[in-house]
Amino acid sequence: MRSEGRFGWLDQLLGQLLSEDLPVRELAPEPGLAPARSISIDPEHWGRLGQATGHTGCRWVGCWGEDTGDELIVHACFEKDRGYMLARTRLRRLTPILPSHTPYHPAADRSERHLQDLFGVAFSDHPDPRRWVRHQAWSASEFPLRRDFPAAGHPLAQTPADNGYKFLHAQGSGVCEIPVGPVHAGIIEPGHFRFQAVGETILHLEERLGYTHKGTEKLAEGRDAAGLARLAARVSGDATVAHSWAACMAMEKAAGIELPARALVLRAIMAERERIANHLGDIGAICSDVSLGFGFYQFSRLREEWQRISLAAFGHRLLMGCIVPGGVVADLEPAMIPAQREQIRAVRPQLGRLMDILTTSPTVVNRLAGTGRLAPALAAGFGALGYVGRASGIDRDLRRDAPYAPYDRLKIPVAVSKDGDVAARLRVRAEEISGSLVLIETLLAELPPGPVCVPWTPPAPDAQGLGMVEGWRGETLAFVRFGDEGRIARYYPRDPSVINWPLLELLVEDDIVPDFPVCNKSVNGSYSGNDL
C-alpha cells in the first residue's frame, strides 16, 4: 500500500483540527521514527486530539513520557489503515496537567496511570485516578522517572502494606467477592484478580497488576547500546526476541545503521522460533486446564524438543542475548540448517494429529467452544493485539501491514477467526505455528551469505528511534532517545500485554469462575512486560 493511502486519514484529521483553529502542526520527517509521521499540539488541546482520533476510528497504540530537565514531553501513538502517527506535547514540570485520552480510547487507561505514577502527569478528566504502579514503595510526591529521582530511590526499612486499593465493591443479594492472588499456587508472577460473582457466574473481574515493577525504564538511563539490548531482552523473558529486536531496531534507526541481510534473516528465524515455542507451550497449558493430560504432555514435549534445537543453533533455549545492536551475536553453523529442517518435518505431522484430537474431543470442545468469548466489536474498540485480536476478527499483523526486513519480501500467512472464544484462540495459535514453520523453511532456503553484525556507531545526542516488531504476542513497540556519549536518555517498551490484559476482564463476564484459568491461559498476558 502506498504511503499516501496509509495516511489519508491523518491528512483529514489535521485539516479538521486546523479548521478549528487548533495549534497543531506536522513535524518534519524524522527518519528514526519511520514509518510513523509526527505532529505536535499544545497541552490544552491534547484531549481534543484524543476525541478526534477516537471519532476517526484510530487505534490507540501507546503513550510514554520524557523528562528533559526543563519540561515533560508526553508522546502518544495512533494507527489507522496501516499508517502510524506520533503525537507529542510539552508540559511545565511544575504544573504537568493534561486532558485524558481514556474517555475516547479505553486502552489508554492504565498507560496514563503509569505516567501519572512515574512522571507526575495529572490527567484532569481521567475516569480512574487510582495509582497503578506505586504500590507504597515511594511517597505520593515522588516520581521515579523524573531526572532528579535516583535509580536506587529512597527505600524504606519496610514497604507499607498495599491494602488500601479500592476495588469495586460487591453489592446485591447473593453477590460475593472472590479474591485470587497476588501470590499464586504455581510459578507465575504475582497479579491480583478480584471477582464479583453470583454462584459460579462471573459478573465482574477487576485486575490489579504492577507487583513486579522492576524500574526497567529507569535502569535503561545511562546505558550504552549493548547494555540496553541486554535489558530489553529481559523485559519479558518469554518474548526476549521481540523486545530485543524492537529495542535494537529503534537504536539502529536512530543511528542510521543498515544491517547485513544475513543478520536480518537470522533475527526473523529466531522470532518465528520464539513464536512457535510459546504457542506450543500455551496450547499444552490449555489442555492441562481442561484435564487433557495427554495433550499437555505432548505439547510440552514438542516445546522442549523445539527449545533444545534453539539452544544448539543459537546458544540459548529462550534465545536471550542473541540479538545485539548491529545484528546478531553469532552466525548459524551450517549443520544447524538441516537440523532445523528435519525438526520442522517432524513437528508438522505431529501438530496436525494433535490438533485433530483436540478439535474432535468432546471434553475439549465442550470446555472451550463459547468460553471466554471476546466479541469482535470489543476487540476492535480496545485494539486487541496478536492472536487475541486475530481470534476476534482483527486481521492485523505488522510483518505484513507495516513490513520490516526480511518480512517485506515474504508472503505472510495471517490466521483469523471471528468466533472470539478460547477455542478460536487455540486454533489461531495452531495455524500460526504452521505458518511460522513455512516461514522458517523459506528463510533457511534463502539465507544470504555475508556478515551477521556491523560495528556500532553511537548516534548524535537527542537522536531518537521507534522500533516495532510483530512478536509472538503481537505488536511490540520500543522508543529510544540517546543522550551524550551514545548513552540512553530514554527507553520505553510497550508489550502487547498492556493492551490485552484489560480484555481478559471483559471476556470472562457471564462465564463461570472455574473457566477463568483456561480463559487466562488463552490470553496469557505477560506480568513482567506489563509491570516494567
Could you give the CA distance from residue 427 to residue 262 in angstroms, rounded to a whole number? Answer: 32
Nearest to 227 by CA among 328, 314, 324: 324
Contacts of 186 (CB under 8 A, 6+ apart): none
* Contact residues for 461 (Cβ-Cβ < 8 A; gap 6+): 482, 483, 484
H or E element, residue 73: strand 71-80
- Distance of CA 504 to CAs 152, 180, 260, 371, 388, Å? 34, 15, 40, 12, 10
How far apart (Å, rounded) are the C-alpha atoms in residues 234 and 531?
12
- Asked if residues 245 and 253 have their Cβ atoms less than 8 Å apart, the reply is no
To the nearest 10 degrees (0 to 180), the angle between helices 422-445 and 336-360 is 160
The cell numbers describing 32, all together, are: 528514526
- CA 190 vs. chain centroid, Å, equals 18
Which spans in 213-260 are helix H? Answer: 216-220, 225-232, 240-255
User: Which segments of 20-170 does DSSP mark as H helices, in order?
Assistant: 46-56, 109-119
Domains and CATH numbers, the chain: 3-123 (3.30.460.80), 171-211+496-532 (3.30.390)
How far is it, in rounded angstroms, from Cα 344 to Cα 336? 12
Contact 531, 209 (CB under 8 A): yes
pLDDT given at position 228: 98
Instruction: Identify the residue whose cell numbers are 495433550.
Output: 295
Predicted local distance difference test score (pLDDT) of residue 164: 83
Q: What is the DSSP string of 323-337?
A: EETTEESSPPPTTHH
Over the range 92-111, which residues count as b (16 or more CB within 10 Å of their CB) and which as e? ebeebebbbbbbbbbbbbbb
Residue-wise pLDDT tens for the chain (532 aa)? 334 578 999 999 999 999 988 889 999 888 899 889 999 999 999 999 999 999 999 999 999 999 998 899 999 999 999 999 999 999 999 999 999 999 999 999 999 999 999 999 999 999 998 999 888 888 888 999 999 999 888 888 888 888 888 898 888 888 999 999 888 877 788 999 999 999 999 999 999 999 889 999 999 999 999 999 999 999 999 999 999 999 999 999 999 999 999 999 999 999 999 999 999 999 999 999 999 999 999 999 999 999 999 999 999 999 999 999 999 999 999 999 999 999 999 999 999 999 999 999 998 999 999 999 999 999 999 999 999 999 999 999 999 999 999 999 999 999 999 999 999 999 999 999 999 999 999 999 999 999 999 999 999 999 999 999 999 999 999 999 999 999 999 999 999 999 999 999 999 999 999 999 999 999 999 999 999 9
pTM: 0.95
Given a contact cutoff of 8 angstroms between Cβ atoms, the answer to whether 468 and 475 are in contact is yes
Q: What is the CA radius of gyration of the chain?
A: 23
The CA distance from 513 to 450, in Å, is 55
CA–CA separation, 424 and 26 (whole Å): 41
Question: Are 374 and 506 spatial neighbours (Cβ–Cβ below 8 Å)?
Answer: yes
